[in-house]
Amino acid sequence: MYDNNPITFLNLNRLPARVDYHGASILLNFEVVAIKALVEMGHLKAAGNLKGSEHKYFCTKTILKLADDEKWVNDATRAVSKYWAEKNDRRKTTRRDKEPRSSQQGSPGRRPLERRKRDGLVPTK
């Protein structure tokens, strides 16, 4: 069909009836992981009645209609931004909870500036 090159895909004489995550990402100009996030959040629905981690396909006509819908594009963009912000917050919270107490107060293995000055490790002017 196409070689995962966006230019080759967009230059096809006739687009395929269905596309996978990669094809949908090209048509909507979102990253593949953003398409997966939109499916997870319910903003994008895969064709068929698939369960769990099965490979998902999307109806090309539906994707093109969504690409023309300015409100949907704005909503999807905000949803993806919010999704990554929440995911990053969860990651920071989890990481902070797992780190030992000493590494939370500064870089591990680094001496405080006053101590480095005292030990002659910081050049003086």
Q: Cite the DSSP H helix spans in the chain.
A: 6-10, 21-28, 32-41, 60-68, 70-98, 101-104, 113-118
Q: Which domain holds residue 84?
A: 6-100
Q: What is the pLDDT of residues 83-107, one digit of tens each?
A: 999 988 888 777 666 666 555 555 5
Answer whether residue 15 is part of any domain: yes
Answer whether residue 29 is part of any domain: yes
- pLDDT for 97 equals 64
Number of structural domains found in the chain: 1
Answer whether residue 111 is part of any domain: no
In this structure, what CATH number is given to the domain that contains residue 54? 1.10.1660
Q: How many residues does the chain have?
A: 125
Nearest to 65 by CA among 81, 51, 45: 45
For the chain, residues with pLDDT lower than 70 are: 1-3, 95-112, 116, 120-125
Answer whether residue 54 is part of any domain: yes
pTM score over 0.75: no
Answer whether residue 114 is part of any domain: no
Given the structure tokens 């300015």, which residue do they identify? Answer: 70
